[in-house]
């Protein structure tokens, strides 16, 4: 009977996702907000709680993020990654300062103390790589000029998280300097090894997974990607970083084949990820902190839009691309909830978890909506600018 209920719930979830996807196609909107709201309705404290299939959705959500970041990595070569990271390092630092500051300030103003401030800084700083990757794919932005800028900022954030998370864990546990330094050193060494393999030994990885059979390629690529992501996470590094660099290691025809084979799986598990995010949020805990979360979200949209605009402008990209870059950076998601979960488990503050959930939910829903609306806004801004320039040129 238990296995039957698991199958029923999984079938209902996947079929429900299909129906919501159909609605998004009909309404010409991103399906992400619908997936999130569905998870909210059927999660803890929702209309009807789905508990039997929770383990499946949790694992599926992790695989979804891994596949989103892997397929994103397939779009670029190792040389392009190094070049864009080097060129946009200053933009990454601006991103860190501008977007971590609101969380730190709010925690201190609420009297939660310095430890909570460190956690809140991470929550307001990091963009959801998974949601951003999905939004850019849905809107057909992957070939645009601003995408390397966005990717470099996302990679910078993920690498920053690889340093930040061990430090946060040590701070929350009250660990000494030695224990925190050891954890950080392990994380840095893991990143170095994975990055070196991606940069210098990508051809070996390609030969390892290459095969005339598409079935064999699918199994090898999927297995190796999940394996590398799991090892990275075990060694205190983001699984997303490992998956992204694994995608970077593949190039040429093999990358094209891998993208085609994995796209359906990516879409399935990515949808499960967004639902799982909503399932973990209890709606009853959101109203008391909603005003603070809404204020933080407004500030967060402004700072992320400003970061994307500035970084894209430095790269010589026009107004439309600058707006798209800013909009792509606004969603928050998986990392933010992980940070909040660590802080709540450590007993930092009982309100931090609901505040983070409300904040992330607002931006996870609004992010895709903002992204879809920036191009009409850009057309309006460009038209106004051309009109102003025309009036200026005809003035006596």
Q: Output the pLDDT for position 353.
A: 79
Tell me the pLDDT of the chain averaged across its residues: 80
The yes-or-no verdict on residue 227 having pLDDT over 80 is yes
Burial 360-381 (b: 16+ CB within 10 A, else e): bbbbbbbbbebbbebeeebeee
Question: What residue segments make up the domains of the chain, in order of their start?
Answer: 2-386
- Structure letter (DSSP) for residue 284: G
Q: What is the pLDDT of residues 171-210, one digit of tens each?
A: 776 655 566 667 667 767 776 776 677 667 777 778 888 8
**pLDDT value at residue 302:** 95
- Amino acid 339: pLDDT: 79
Q: What is the mean pLDDT of residues 311-329?
A: 90
Of the two residues 246 and 301, the one the predictor is more confident about is 301
What is the pLDDT averaged over residues 144-157?
Answer: 85
Q: What is the mean predicted confidence (pLDDT) over 318-339? A: 84
Query: Which tens digit of pLDDT belongs to each residue from 355-373?
Result: 887 888 888 888 888 888 8
More confident residue, 303 or 232: 303
Q: What is the pLDDT of residues 34-74, one digit of tens each?
A: 887 788 787 766 666 666 667 778 888 888 878 877 887 78
Q: CB-based burial of residue 148 (10 Å sphere; 0-12 exposed, 13-18 middle, 19+ buried)?
A: buried
Percent of the chain whose pLDDT exceeds 70: 80
Return all residues near 193 (Cβ < 8 A) that are at least 6 apart.
none
DSSP one-letter code for 385: H
How many Å apart are CA 108 and CA 209, to the nearest integer? 50
- Cα separation, 164 vs 274, whole angstroms: 24
Fold topology of 2-386 = Na+/H+ antiporter like fold (1.20.1530)
Q: If you average pLDDT over residues 12-19, what whole number do you get?
A: 87
d(CA 370, CA 368): 5
Rounded to two decimals, what is the model's pTM? Answer: 0.71
């Amino acid at each position: 009977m238990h296995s039957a209920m698991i199958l029923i719930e999984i079938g209902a979830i996947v079929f429900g996702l299909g129906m919501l996807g159909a609605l998004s196609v009909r309404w010409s909107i991103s399906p992400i907000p619908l997936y999130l709201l569905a998870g909210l309705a059927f999660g803890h404290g929702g209309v009807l709680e789905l508990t039997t299939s929770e383990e499946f959705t949790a694992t599926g959500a992790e695989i979804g993020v891994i596949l989103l970041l892997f397929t994103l990595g397939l779009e670029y070569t190792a040389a392009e990654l190094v070049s864009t990271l080097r060129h946009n390092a200053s933009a990454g630092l601006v991103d860190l300062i501008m977007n971590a500051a609101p969380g730190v300030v709010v925690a201190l103003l609420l009297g939660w103390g310095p430890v909570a401030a460190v956690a809140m800084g991470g929550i307001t700083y990091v963009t959801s790589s998974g949601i951003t990757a999905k939004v850019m794919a849905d809107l057909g932005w992957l070939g645009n000029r601003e995408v390397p800028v966005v990717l470099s900022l996302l990679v910078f954030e993920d690498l920053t998280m690889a340093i930040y998370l061990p430090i946060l864990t040590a701070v929350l546990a009250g660990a000494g300097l030695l224990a925190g330094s050891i954890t950080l050193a392990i994380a840095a060494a893991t990143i170095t090894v994975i990055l070196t393999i991606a940069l210098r030994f990508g051809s070996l990885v390609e030969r390892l997974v290459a095969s005339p059979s598409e079935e064999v390629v699918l199994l090898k690529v999927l297995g190796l990607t999940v394996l590398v992501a799991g090892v990275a996470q075990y060694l205190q590094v983001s699984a997303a970083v490992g998956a992204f660099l694994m995608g970077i290691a593949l190039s040429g025809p093999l990358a094209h084949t891998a993208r085609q084979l994995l796209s359906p799986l990516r879409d399935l598990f990515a949808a499960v990820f967004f639902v799982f995010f909503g399932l973990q949020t209890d709606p009853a805990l959101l109203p008391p902190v909603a005003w603070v979360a809404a204020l933080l979200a407004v500030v967060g949209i402004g700072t992320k839009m400003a970061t994307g605009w500035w970084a894209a402008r430095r790269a010589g990209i026009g107004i439309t691309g600058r707006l798209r870059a800013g909009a792509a950076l606004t969603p928050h998601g998986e990392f933010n909830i992980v940070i909040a979960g660590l802080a709540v488990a450590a007993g930092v503050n009982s309100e931090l978890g609901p505040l983070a959930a409300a904040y992330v939910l607002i931006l996870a829903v609004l992010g895709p909506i903002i992204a879809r609306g920036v191009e009409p806004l850009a057309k309006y801004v460009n038209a106004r600018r051309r009109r102003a320039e025309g009036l200026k040129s005809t003035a006596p």
